[in-house]
A and B are shown apart, each in its own frame.
Chain A
């Protein structure tokens, strides 16, 4: 059953602590993305990666870091430098479907991060 998994569903962070959110996909997609969503708002792009071992900053990358060592995995670390980390974090991946000329982005179920 193909898809994108994110873990954990809920995550609690103490002040000054780094936490890592997991994202795995088995869709064989090259590109992966991390978005942040605040209550009542749309999604904002944090980081994206088009291929393994390469990633680029999105619109709100400060206080976050990522790695892309494997095609299937794109973990996001929320560092202590992120002063307002409480949000809903969404991972996505994209690739070309058969017969398509445009990549479609698919999303995981999300991780809700709360600061204690």
Chain B
């Protein structure tokens, strides 16, 4: 039973904002939302995480709805190097077990 739901694929024009949605309707009060991305045949790269407030760093912004049942990762100006599979994950357990779903394959188009 998946804890997060993401669309399997999305396209985005180069230079435009990429908005990747994630549903996590059964999120617990102490679970954080994490985003990672994985370029083919490489290890996942940490992007950003948040609990209930919106977050921004040099890579992306994370918007979490007030009820925390969904979130959106925003890449403000997508480049070809942003083509990857993006995983939305929830943190659970004291040892921080990260449950990965199948993610969204983002294709940035020139």
Contacts and interface: CB of A to CB of B under 8 A. Distances in A.
Interface of A: 4, 6, 31, 35, 40-45, 48, 50, 56, 58, 88, 90, 92, 94, 102-110, 112
Contact of B46 (A42, A56, A104, A109): A104
Given A42-B87, A42-B100, A42-B101, A104 B44 contact: no
Nearest to B87: A42
Contacts of B91: 102
Contacts of B101: 42
Contacts of A106: 46
B49 A110 contact: no
Interface of B: 32, 34, 36, 41-46, 49, 51, 87, 91, 94-103
Specify the main secondary structure of chain A where it touches its partner.
Answer: strand
B91 to A, nearest CB: 7
Contacts, number: 55
6 contacts: A6-B43, A42-B87, A48-B95, A50-B94, A105-B34, A112-B41
Question: 3 closest pairs, A vs B, by CB?
Answer: A42-B100, A107-B43, A43-B100
Contacts of A44: 100
A90 B46 contact: no
